[in-house]
Structure 1
Amino acid sequence: MQGWPVARAGMVVGLLGGSFDPAHAGHVHITHEALKRFRLDRVWWLVSPGNPLKARTPAPLSVRLAEARRLMRHPRVAVTDLEARMGTRFTAETLTTLQARYPGVHFVWLMGADNLVQFHRWDRWRQIMASVAVGVLARPGAGLRGRTSPAARSYAKARLPAGAAAGLARAARPAWCFVNLPMVDLSSTAIRARGGWRPGDA
């Protein structure tokens, strides 16, 4: 396992959480776009031990980490098991712990528009909005539903235009920004539905 990633005060770090069961080209695509659109110094993938909103048990963490690291190769991206190391299960807990461990680092929570649709169901989701900027990246079929979701409506006044995405990390909280991307129509669920995956698959 790799150790704790390095970040200095003043840096902007995007956090992309999920089961990554399995990681795929869509995750890589939105990571590259997030680095550019939100002017991020780093992106950390937070490969979770398990998703509280999903009943299905994922593949072993070590397997998912190895596959994610094989796929995501970029000098400014770290694939981590930080939630397992910290013992956190919910995003709000993860953010609180990371902010205490990395004082002065500007974190941006990254999510696909499909996650924004259900964001209001997340544990302490309003606390998340109050503590970090949120960057939303369009995913196939979820753009309109994301922009009209309960969370989007609740925080309509906190939404930055896409043209201001580069300044999202340092905007006053709450702040979120929705950006449209060239689409890569992949999902971990669809990959598993086509017959599952094996470590080392493309």
Structure 2
Amino acid sequence: MAERYLRMPYVEKGMAVGLFGGSFNPPHAGHALVAETALRRLHLDQLWWIVTPGNPLKNHRELAPLAERIALSEKCTTDPRIKVTAFEARHRIRYTADTIRLVQHRNPGVDFVWIMGADSLRDFHRWERWREIAQSIPIAVIDRPGDTLAFLSSTMAKTFDHARIDENDAPVLAHRRPPSWTFIHGPRSSLSSTAIRDAAREV
């Protein structure tokens, strides 16, 4: 694995940058659609595609090597504003709250926004220090098949209902003081990493 993937991408003060983290096991067109939608609708200068060492909430027995997931992620993305990175591995980070704290500390003057699919919103209250995350960074939730209603029914959505802004205001989300979040509707992909792994086992 190239050394550059263990470093944070280069940014400049005043930029709006999306943080899109996940196991990407494997990455697929659905992930790319979320990233591209976020770039367009949030008017981002960059999006960091953060390949995690391993999600604490998921089974690691089927987790492909980090280098393999990075290489496949690079093949999924064509927009030069999308930066594939695995800096969490160097810092031995396991939890999103710690990732956000490190990124914000290292990059003062940059406006970050957390990007996630609606399927993650459904389980967001199970994340370590989830309230801290919502109170430390704006969050953009991108629609995913079968999870459109998550923004109404999830614990996070109910807890921070007062902080939700209309998706028409998404271009200013990265610059707002948290807690602040929005749900973005748009084209959806039915692909999932779990289904792809299941299909591979059946071959």
Contact persistence 1:114–1:146 (CA under 8 A) = no
Q: Which runs of 5+ in 1 are unaligned?
A: 198-202
Counterpart residue number, 2:196 = 191
Mapped pair 1:102 → 2:114: no
Normalising by structure 2, we get a TM-score of 0.94
How far off its partner does 1:61 sit? 0.2
Q: Which residues of 2 match residues 88-167 of structure 1 at below 5 A?
A: 88-167=93-172
Detail structure 1 runs of 4+ shifted over 6 Å in the superposition. none
Counterpart residue number, 2:39 = 35
Normalising by structure 1, we get a TM-score of 0.94
Q: What percent identity do the matched residue pairs reach?
A: 46
| Alignment: residue pair count | 197
1:169 to 163, 170, 174: 174
Q: Which amino acid aligns with 1:76?
A: R
What SS does the aligned partner of 2:74 have?
A: helix
Mapped pair 1:50 → 2:68: no
Counterpart residue number, 1:7 = 11
What SS does the aligned partner of 1:195 have?
A: helix
Counterpart residue number, 1:61 = 66
CA distance in 2, matches of 1:96, 1:64: 24
Q: Which deviates further from its counterpart, 55-64 or 122-131?
A: 55-64
Decide whether aligned partners of structure 1 residues 74 and 118 sit closer, same or farther in structure 2, where only a CA change above 3 A counts.
same
State the superposition RMSD in angstroms: 1.3
Counterpart residue number, 2:27 = 23
CA distance in 1, matches of 2:119, 2:151: 6
How far off its partner does 1:64 sit? 0.6
Contact persistence 2:137–2:177 (CA under 8 A) = no
CA distance in 2, matches of 1:99, 1:157: 24
Contact persistence 1:86–1:97 (CA under 8 A) = no
CA distance in 2, matches of 1:175, 1:24: 28
Counterpart residue number, 2:187 = 182
